[in-house]
Amino acid sequence: MMSVLWIVLPYSALLSFIIGHFWRYRHDRFGWYSTGPETDRAQRIGGHAFRVGMAGMIAARLTDLLVSGPNSHPDNTFYVVIVAVEVCAVVVATVGAVLLFVPDMIGSPGRPVISPLDRITFPMLVAGLLTRVAIKFDPNSSENGYRTAETLFTWFRSLFTLHPNPEAMVHAPFIYQARGLVLMLFVAIWPYTRLASILAEPVYWLIRRIRSEPPAGRPRELSTP
């Protein structure tokens, strides 16, 4: 059971994440949900807010992961900056998620943009937020004993080595185990939800824009009437 939960499942989630993105690109070029002219203004704002918030959260968590010691926080000033960026990013991403999901979930949209996986995405975001708050205010985690670094960070780093370390999660408190399971499920279903389209849309648009640009020094061809 230890190997299944903390070795097999994370690698399976990562494989689903990679294969899912290839499938989405071949299936609909990440066009399942796009913020086009027909999209509600609130949802367009929500899409932009969610992108900015998610980028801030990912940057803050990766920085914390890379800079933290085996059982300690980063330096005090640096850690305060990380926390401030993460808090602001969480607020922005939460507002964006509400604007994106709630109107279609309670209304009757003209096109079926809500899939079964989309319907569980918002609860998953809430679960991720609650587990993050719970481990953030863990009274047993202090500057001299950073529980997140001792459990989640140690386990996650080991997945990219030849010797995965599931023991770090087996002996972790329940809330840290719940946090790990929520993140694994979120990674596994990500490519199959509208969130993948929302985050991939500007990247895909930029790639198409670059491909459509003529080479330097070569004028763009004019279309005949």
**What was the pLDDT predicted at 76?**
78
In angstroms, how far is CA 168 from the centroid of its own chain?
23
CB 55 within 8 A of CB 93: no
User: Model pTM?
Assistant: 0.80
List the chain pLDDT tens, one digit each, 225 residues. Answer: 788 999 999 999 999 999 998 888 888 777 655 555 556 777 788 888 988 999 999 999 999 999 888 878 877 788 889 999 999 999 999 898 888 777 666 654 554 556 677 778 878 888 998 999 999 888 877 666 788 999 999 999 999 998 899 999 998 999 999 999 999 999 999 988 878 878 777 776 777 777 776 554 445 544 444
Separation in Å, CA 24 to CA 28, 111, 188, 189: 6, 19, 13, 12
DSSP assignments along 124-174, one per residue: HHHHHHHHHHHHHT-TT-BTTB-HHIIIIIHHHHHTTSSS--THHHHTS-H
**What was the pLDDT predicted at 99?**
83
**Which residue's structure tokens are 């367009």?**
44
